[in-house]
Chain A
Amino acid sequence: DGGITQSPKYLFRKEGQNVTLSCEQNLNHDAMYWYRQDPGQGLRLIYYSQIVNDFQKGDIAEGYSVSREKKESFPLTVTSAQKNPTAFYLCASRPAGANVLTFGAGSRLTVL
């Protein structure tokens, strides 16, 4: 079945450590997105990528980095520069020319 796989589902990190969240899709979608979800704040856009080897900052990119070396993969690194990284992270994808996002199941990051 086609879909988006995010891993790990739960992740604990000590302060000062970088961590990478994986997002893989087998939908052959061109565009991929990372959102952060906090209670009461909805979803906020971190980074998005329309094509391979290209990506744009969203509204809260500081403290995060991404790469898009392959069409099916869009990993997100949460760096130690991110002051409040505890959140639920959602990856999404979209085929070229379409409007609707397909979301993964999410990764919950907790900083201890």
Chain B
Amino acid sequence: ELKVEQNPLFLSMQEGKNYTIYCNYSTTSDRLYWYRQDPGKSLESLFVLLSNGAVKQEGRLMASLDTKARLSTLHITAAVHDLSATYFCAVDAGSGTYKYIFGTGTRLKVLA
């Protein structure tokens, strides 16, 4: 059974600081996704990573994928308050299943 773990679960950081969220998964997969959820809201897609070594950047967020290590990172550069949200990674279980397993989420709070 595919398991997806994120750490940390909670992250409180000052504006202007850098930090990294980690997503580990338990089986072979080369498709990984990052989503953002604002409090009480639904999820929206941030990044789609479809191969080993893939790197995507949008504003202050950068995501990368290492399929050999079964690890993805979401790096936050010079955090601002607007980035406060919960971030989820999700992994495709593979073999053409299109079955997406989500991590536990990282709740990020950026303090002004």
The reply to whether A31 and B98 form a contact with Cβ atoms under 8 Å apart is: yes
B101 within 8 A of A: yes
In whole angstroms, how far apart are the Cα atoms of A35 and B90 in the complex?
A: 12
In whole angstroms, how far apart are the Cα atoms of A50 and B100 in the complex?
A: 12
A2 within 8 A of B: no
B50 within 8 A of A: yes
Nearest-neighbor residue (CB-CB) of A108 within chain B: B40
A74 within 8 A of B: no
User: Which of B11-19, B41-49, B60-68, B77-85 contacts the other chain?
Assistant: B41-49
- Measured as residues with beta carbon below 8 angstroms from the partner, the interface class of chain A is 20 to 34
Nearest-neighbor residue (CB-CB) of B93 within chain A: A45
The reply to whether B100 and A106 form a contact with Cβ atoms under 8 Å apart is: no
In whole angstroms, how far apart are the Cα atoms of A91 and B110 in the complex?
A: 29
The contact of B88 among A42, A45, A99, by CB within 8 Å, is A42
| Shortest beta-carbon distance from B17 to chain A in Å | 24
B9 within 8 A of A: yes
The contact of B99 among A43, A48, A100, by CB within 8 Å, is A48
| Shortest beta-carbon distance from A69 to chain B in Å | 20
| Shortest beta-carbon distance from B29 to chain A in Å | 12
Report chain A residues within 8 Å CB of B43.
43, 90, 92, 101, 103
The reply to whether B44 and A103 form a contact with Cβ atoms under 8 Å apart is: yes
A41 within 8 A of B: yes
Report chain B residues within 8 Å CB of A105.
41-42
12 further A-B contacts with Cβ under 8 Å, apart from A99-B31, A99-B50, are: A40-B9, A40-B104, A42-B105, A43-B88, A44-B102, A45-B101, A50-B98, A56-B99, A90-B42, A100-B45, A101-B35, A105-B41
Q: Chain A interface (Cβ within 8 Å of chain B)?
A: 31, 33, 35, 40-45, 48, 50, 56, 58-59, 90, 92, 94, 99-106
A selection of 19 A-B contacts at a CB cut-off of 8 Å is: A35-B102, A40-B9, A42-B4, A42-B102, A43-B102, A43-B105, A45-B102, A58-B99, A90-B42, A90-B43, A94-B98, A99-B48, A99-B92, A100-B45, A101-B33, A101-B45, A101-B90, A104-B42, A106-B42
